[in-house]
Every structure is written in C-alpha cells, then in structure tokens.
Structure 1
C-alpha cells in the first residue's frame, strides 16, 4: 500500500510562506537568468503557459497583477527538506522522489488510511506552510494517479484520494486521460491513441504483454500497475548517480578567459560536493563551453573535452586544476560565451574499484581535507570555505533580479518584524 504526497505549486507555495500578503495573489517563478516561467500558482495558470519566455509575457502578467519571482533554489531545497522530515515522522518508510513529492509505504499501517492522509496534509501545512495533496492506492502508479485526482477535484476530495476501493479506482480511471498516467508522455500518448487507447481506463484494460512487446517493459509494468498488480517497490535509498553535472547560463555574455575560468571552478566545486555526498570518486571529467545559439547576429561556437584524471578522486583542488586546463584547450578568442558545463564521469564508490598495484591513488590527507571542507560548509553555509579560483560575488552570475530573501538559509535573509 502506497501514498504519494505531492506539494501543490511548490515553488510558488515556498514564496508565499514568507509573504502572507500574497496568499491569494497569482505567482510565477522564473528559470535561470529570469528566462522562462517554470512554476505557476493555480491563480496564474489562466494568464501564462509553462515555459513561456518572461520577456514575452511580462506586460500581460503585470496587467493582471501576477507577481514574478526569480528562482531561489536555496529556499526551495531547505523547505523541501522540512516537508520531507515532517512526512518521514508519520510513515514507516519514505522514498523522496523529487524536490516536491515522495512515496510513502503504508503497508500494514492500522486504522483509517484516508484519515492518515488528512493528518499528513494538516501537519505539513501547520509545520511548514506548504499545502500538499495525497493519493493512496495499492501500486505506485495508481497512487500517482490518485494524487492527480486529489488536485484535479480538490474541493470534492479535500486533497486526499484513496483508490483502494475498486469502484473509486474505476471512476477515476474512466475520467483521466492516458496522458495523465505516470510515465506516459505526449509521444507515447499519441501512439496509444492510434491503438484507440485514450483514457487511463482503456490503458488498464489493455493487454500488458502485447504493449510491452510493442513498446517497452516500462509500459507493460505501467499497465499492470493500473490494473492493481504492484511492479514497482519503494526505493528508500537513492542509488548513486552514474554522472554528475553542473551547468549554468552566465548572467551576461563573456568574452574573456578569466571569468569563464571562475565559472568553471564554481561549477566544479558544486559538482564535487555532490560527488562526496554520495561517497563516490570520479575517473574522468568533461568541460564544455558554448555561445548563444539563437541570436543570428552572434558567431556560433561550442566545444568540449574529456579529461582522464590521474586517479579516482573527489578532491576539489585536483578537479579544479584539471577542469581549468581542459577549458584552456577549448577556449577560442572572439566569441561571446553564454554557458559552461562540468560533467563528472565514470563514477565509482570507494573500495569498489581495483587498480594496478603501482598506479597512483588519492592520498589519505586529501580525503581528510575534503571532510573538513564539507564539515565547515555544512555548519556555516555553502561557500564559507572554497577554492581561491571561486569568487564570492561573481559579476557573471545568474541574473536573479526578482529573487526573494533566503529566509531559512542565510542570517541576512531572516524575517524582520518591526
């Protein structure tokens, strides 16, 4: 028995927690460099589509009183952790699926599960200020669809939908499209329409084996789960990533090598933090840069290079030095660069690789130094200790002119009551 707990309009809800004056005001959140709309409150959906460029809809939003915010990832990440810790204290096991949703295992939980779903909603709202929806069912795919129904018919459901009853399950399946099912994208939905499979009910009644042979085993599992057969288990521990990427658009076009070096060093620092967090080492790294690709008046250039590291490592000093050397190999004068990317490749866990007896390995003191670095930054804030190549306030950083305070992660951003 599973529950899917999903935050409603998460980014917009985070902004509202510390701005109660905007409780009924439509809100949108913008992507990096205030480029596109990536999140909308329910009230804003009638005025703007997801992914629309902000410069195109700025006047429309202003005319209808829609408030725009730059992405504040520090705030959203911290609020996500708070929401997940509240839920974790109320269920036997939890799988954090994304920044704003999680699967809970309710197998063997006594009592009224729908009442438990309401209790989760009330406690998360009371403790964090974030509204959530809860879907309950016997499979993860049905729980996801139940959550969709909880949001779609929020007034009737009270934000909690339980599909354990076959009658309730069939009612929802018949009123949801196949495209509403978890894992069915627009392209797959078009293929299914060609087979006269239009609703989630049609998909649940289809032959899973034949659809699996025609498309993939993923579709076969989806069909079986819609019919009530569990095929997906709860994953309490996230498996280590096989690649780690850090990529950002610059706040302005860069033509000189020095600021791009700073950017690459900053991205290496962030990627190495993720690497150490999952106890992995990298054997290779890739550095790439590119110009803007859509301005016809700008010359185009994009290039990248893969570097073999001298030994598997998580040492930010070595990674930074190798990344800057790689950048120098692909940098060309005379271009206006808009983006850089650092990709850590061929990751392995500590103690899970066998090397040549005489091959170099990461010194023990490097590991101890990285532990101190992460400990200090974990206690006093990211970037408290950093490589000298990483500036504190870069002028090439992302444009975030509409960003709110980091209310929960920076002393300077604390709420002030006067």
Structure 2
C-alpha cells in the first residue's frame, strides 16, 4: 500500500500591510518610516519595519508626536477602504496561482501546495507577481504543517536579505535550524502568558516546544498548545479551513469624531452605520429579522456624566432593505436618547439573520416585496462600480461633521473616482 505524501502548506503574509498600502501610491515614502493610527487618530496600530525601533504598538498619538518628528516618521490616519481593496486584489492574485486558499486575515492567507513540483520557484513567483501587480511586498513560508508554515514565513521576513522573502522548511534539516533559532514567543498561538508558563518549564525555543511531551502540555494547559507542539514536530493537526459560513450577527459601531449632544447628528450616524451593516448583510445573502440600536457616552472622563442605553426592535418581516432597516433604527434611537449627555459612540446590531427560504411564516404574514429586492440589487451594483456611497439613503450625509477624525488620511486611490492617482506630465 502506497503511503500518502504529507500535506504542504504555504503562508503568504503581506509585509507591514497598512504601511505598505500607504507607500503604493507614495513612492517618495519608499524609505521613510511610517505609522498608521487607529480611529479618531488615537494610537498606533501599524508600523513599517523602520519605524518599529522608535515607536511601540498602541502608543497614543498625542504622546509621541515629538518622537515621530524627531525621527522623520510619517503618520497616517487609517484608510480602511484603501486597505480592504488592496487586500482583495492581493488575495485574488494568490487564488489564481494555487489550488486552494484560506484567507486568514486582511493580510494573510494559507494556501494548499500539494502536488507542486518546485515549491521555491512558486514562492518566488507569487512574491514577484503580487509585488508587480499591487505594489505590496509579501513573505512566503512553506512547510508540512500550518504552524511550521507560519514559522517559515516569520523567518522569511526576519532574514529577508538572506532568504529573498521565501523560506521552505519541508526539509527536516532546515526545519530544525528554524526551530532552534526561533524564540518560543514567536510561535503561532503562544501569547505572553503562555510564554511565562513555558519559560518556567525551561521551554525557551520553538525546538524545545516541539520536543516536549504533547500529552503533558494538554494536561497542564490545553489541547491547543498540544496541537501546536505536534505541528512543530511535523505532525499535521490543522487543515485548510473551508470558507466561513454566513455570520449570525452583523455589527457596525464607531466612535464619533467629537462628542454629540443633539439628536439629529446621532440619527445621521445611526443611519450611516445601518447603511454599512446592510451592505454586509446583502453581501452574504442574508435577511435580518431583528435589530438592536445603542448609544453611550464616554466612559473614562471623570468630568463627564455617564449614560448608556439600547433597545431591540422586531422587524415586520425578514429584510435586507436599507430603507426599512434605517427607519426602524432611527425610530429606536428616539426611544433610547436622553438629552443632557455628551455621546461618544453609537452601534447598530443586526440579529436573527437567516437565508431566504430558511424561515417559515403563516399564510398572512408580510414579506419583503420583490421591488425592494430589485432596488437593493441595483444600489449595490452602482456602489460596487462607482464606489461606496455613490447611491445612499437621503439620511446619510456625504461628509458629516461628526465623522471620525482622520486629519492625516491618504486618498482612496482605488475606490473613488474623484481621488484617482493623477500623473502630471511636464
């Protein structure tokens, strides 16, 4: 009986993804350190490699302005439309070059490489193609388990000058070298607390963890760390995941760019969030039976009065019609709003989601009109072609005064016609 060959996994990870996205349309920043800030320009959520020695992840922006200026580091407000679009382009390219893909996050994808003759050549081709077509640099790690592929990818980026951004550790000798030269804290799934426990057991490197009795790890910790150790030793425990099933809840929640005290601008915010939530709802082909709307004040300023409230609303029938959803949400907001408070955040939550045909009502129950379904389809087609917000509910403003502070946001070069990259010829 012929023994089945072991699986081969690849992990393709974009290098400093948010910072790399900002550099795609700004070649003048190719060698300039970059940080990207969270909503309302609050704290650092991404750093280019050359910015990491000077700025800690999560550092509040107002505290590090002088440091950024001192080291010539450029700060950007988060531009999620740009990042999401470039991520989709990267993943589409990867999908065209490999048998199967599991999109793990906005900047990472596991791939199935079984049956590929020259793995190193494919890794280099993927890296070259993605860089040429999107401008995003990636690292490629290849191994017989997903955990080892993660480790190979980490090595590819850590030793990029020597590896060219591609590391294949299917060979046991190369695998053992990587394990011996990687701190256990760099292993996928080993967090800060787990590292402390492992240090106490004398487990300092990935090799130490691979050689530890997996049953003892399961007994002392969990089945997760047991599988991690087995995978490091070369035994596959994790498969390539199938596409995620439709979500059972969809949430859209944002902090306001400034405190709001009046009801009308909060209504605008709730309508805007519902617009986005309904787009996600229709994208997965679901209908919504119930919504929850909530608002709250800031919770950390001792000088501000605290208030939070929310309400759940049943809809007349399962729907994906943004008009009905928005009306229900705005009406609900009037029930929870109280004057005299400084509100900082609103949230809309779509509940009891179902697919068309999955629910059963009585003969006389209302249902979504076919005309509404067609209107939503046309709106999504227009926004898909011409950019989000091209066609929107009248209650959704195009440039609200309460919007998130994004004073340093780059243009939406790939998702808005009025912000396309322009080249001026002399």
- TM-score using structure 1 length: 0.95
SS in 2 for 1:58: helix
Q: CA deviation at 1:131?
A: 0.8
Q: How far apart in 1 are the matches of 2:65 and 2:180?
A: 39
Structure 1 stretch 270-279 or stretch 121-130: which is displaced more? 121-130
Q: How far apart in 1 are the matches of 2:408 and 2:423?
A: 22
Residue of structure 2 in register with 1:287 after alignment = 293
Q: CA deviation at 1:239?
A: 2.2
Alpha carbons of 1:224 and 1:362: their partners in 2 closer, same or farther (altered >3 Å)?
farther
CA contact under 8 A between 1:26 and 1:43: conserved in structure 2? Answer: yes
Residue of structure 1 in register with 2:268 after alignment = 262
Q: How far apart in 2 are the matches of 1:416 and 1:97?
A: 33
Q: How far apart in 2 are the matches of 1:196 and 1:411?
A: 57
Residue of structure 2 in register with 1:95 after alignment = 102
Q: Work out whether 1:301 is the aligned partner of 2:316.
A: no
The one of 200, 203, 215 equivalent to 1:197 is 203
Q: Work out whether 1:119 is the aligned partner of 2:125.
A: yes
Q: CA deviation at 1:357?
A: 4.5
Q: Work out whether 1:396 is the aligned partner of 2:402.
A: yes
Per-residue Cα deviation, 1:220-268 (whole angstroms, up to 9, x for no partner): 3322222222222223523222221111111111000110011011001
CA contact under 8 A between 1:93 and 1:236: conserved in structure 2? Answer: no
Residue of structure 1 in register with 2:91 after alignment = 84
Q: How far apart in 1 are the matches of 2:216 and 2:366?
A: 52
Q: How far apart in 1 are the matches of 2:304 and 2:178?
A: 52
The one of 380, 384, 396 equivalent to 1:374 is 380
Q: How far apart in 2 are the matches of 1:319 and 1:391?
A: 17
Per-residue Cα deviation, 1:285-306 (whole angstroms, up to 9, x for no partner): 2212111122221112222222
Q: How far apart in 2 are the matches of 1:280 and 1:192?
A: 44
Residue of structure 2 in register with 1:211 after alignment = 217
Q: CA deviation at 1:187?
A: 2.5
Residue of structure 2 in register with 1:323 after alignment = 329
Per-residue Cα deviation, 1:169-195 (whole angstroms, up to 9, x for no partner): 122122223322222222333333344
Residue of structure 2 in register with 1:247 after alignment = 253
Alpha carbons of 1:349 and 1:210: their partners in 2 closer, same or farther (altered >3 Å)?
farther
Structure 2 unpaired stretches of 5+: 1-7
Structure 1 stretch 228-237 or stretch 379-388: which is displaced more? 228-237
Q: Work out whether 1:60 is the aligned partner of 2:67.
A: yes
Q: CA deviation at 1:209?
A: 3.5
Q: How far apart in 2 are the matches of 1:255 and 1:14?
A: 36
Q: How far apart in 2 are the matches of 1:299 and 1:20?
A: 47
Q: How far apart in 2 are the matches of 1:324 and 1:381?
A: 25
The one of 36, 47, 52 equivalent to 1:45 is 52
Residue of structure 2 in register with 1:6 after alignment = 13
Q: CA deviation at 1:33?
A: 0.9
CA contact under 8 A between 1:96 and 1:236: conserved in structure 2? Answer: no
The one of 128, 143, 153 equivalent to 1:147 is 153
Q: CA deviation at 1:358?
A: 4.3
Q: How far apart in 1 are the matches of 2:256 and 2:125?
A: 44
Q: Work out whether 1:108 is the aligned partner of 2:108.
A: no
Q: How far apart in 1 are the matches of 2:107 and 2:150?
A: 13
Q: CA deviation at 1:360?
A: 3.3
Q: How far apart in 2 are the matches of 1:407 and 1:205?
A: 49
Structure 1 stretch 263-272 or stretch 140-149: which is displaced more? 140-149
Residue of structure 2 in register with 1:336 after alignment = 342
Residue of structure 2 in register with 1:406 after alignment = 412
Q: How far apart in 2 are the matches of 1:380 and 1:57?
A: 38
Per-residue Cα deviation, 1:336-356 (whole angstroms, up to 9, x for no partner): 111111111222222233344
Q: How far apart in 1 are the matches of 2:248 and 2:189?
A: 22
SS in 2 for 1:400: coil
Alpha carbons of 1:146 and 1:256: their partners in 2 closer, same or farther (altered >3 Å)?
same
Q: CA deviation at 1:207?
A: 3.0
Residue of structure 2 in register with 1:22 after alignment = 29
Q: How far apart in 1 are the matches of 2:357 and 2:200?
A: 50
Length, aligned pairs only: 417
CA contact under 8 A between 2:35 and 2:51: conserved in structure 1? Answer: yes
Q: How far apart in 2 are the matches of 1:160 and 1:384?
A: 41
CA contact under 8 A between 1:315 and 1:366: conserved in structure 2? Answer: yes
CA contact under 8 A between 1:280 and 1:348: conserved in structure 2? Answer: yes
Alpha carbons of 1:207 and 1:307: their partners in 2 closer, same or farther (altered >3 Å)?
farther
Q: CA deviation at 1:53?
A: 0.7
Q: CA deviation at 1:214?
A: 4.1
The one of 102, 115, 138 equivalent to 1:132 is 138
